[in-house]
Chain A
Amino acid sequence: DTGVSQDPRHKITKRGQNVTFRCDPISEHNRLYWYRQTLGQGPEFLTYFQNEAQLEKSRLLSDRFSAERPKGSFSTLEIQRTEQGDSAMYLCASSLLSGGRADTQYFGPGTRLTVL
């Protein structure tokens, strides 16, 4: 069990550029979640996958955001035409679907995005 990994850990970009983040979940986990956390706040749900299917997207996820999980393994989160308001920590978590809502999510270290 190597845990959830995320890459890169830090990303600095200029406004208007596109960025892509990667998340590798715990290998046997079939659910994968993306959250966004701004300074001084708790994480907020963005989207989640069960295997390769994207089952829900938050209203926070504007059309500039897209997420994929090809083959039900790693996932990518892309932000197009970044804005300063996108600056945040992007967290990925994975879980093994067994008890439903009571399943424990394990988080990666996060990707900190700074948009200049």
Chain B
Amino acid sequence: AQSVAQPEDQVNVAEGNPLTVKCTYSVSGNPYLFWYVQYPNRGLQFLLKYITGDNLVKGSYGFEAEFNKSQTSFHLKKPSALVSDSALYFCAVPNQGGKLIFGQGTELSVKP
């Protein structure tokens, strides 16, 4: 069965510092991996996805993610964090029919 894990419930960074939100995966077959962001009392917004090819995927709002097959990881990164990046971040993997299996989420807090 497809699954993802987000080992950190919360990540705290100072504004202007680089940020990393971690995700590891367990899939059978080709891995397709997604990152979504959720602001308070809102739906999920798509950030980026890995399908195949380049291991560094660039997405919305300056975010990028690095696919690492040997470590079965797909960590989300941003070179310089903004206070407005504070939100809940979800890693996800699609199962049969495209239905998404989500991680537990990581709350990112960026302090000025």
Tell whether, in the assembled complex, residue B103 and residue A42 are in contact, meaning their CB atoms are under 8 Å apart: yes
Q: Which residue of A lies closest to B100 (CB)?
A: A105
Tell whether, in the assembled complex, residue A42 and residue B104 are in contact, meaning their CB atoms are under 8 Å apart: yes
Tell whether, in the assembled complex, residue B99 and residue A56 are in contact, meaning their CB atoms are under 8 Å apart: yes
Tell whether, in the assembled complex, residue A108 and residue B43 are in contact, meaning their CB atoms are under 8 Å apart: yes
How far apart sit A106 and B49, CA to CA, in the bound complex (Å)? Answer: 13
Tell whether, in the assembled complex, residue B99 and residue A43 are in contact, meaning their CB atoms are under 8 Å apart: no
Q: Is A99 an interface residue (CB 8 A)?
A: yes
CB of A106 to closest CB in B, whole Å: 6
Q: Is A74 an interface residue (CB 8 A)?
A: no
Q: Is B101 an interface residue (CB 8 A)?
A: yes
Tell whether, in the assembled complex, residue B44 and residue A107 are in contact, meaning their CB atoms are under 8 Å apart: yes
* B45, B95, B99, B101 — most chain A CB neighbours (10 Å): B99
Interface residues, chain A, CB within 8 Å of chain B? 4, 6, 31, 33, 35, 40-45, 48, 55-56, 91, 93, 95, 97, 99-110, 112
6 A-B pairs with least C-beta separation:
A42-B102, A107-B43, A101-B94, A107-B44, A45-B99, A109-B43
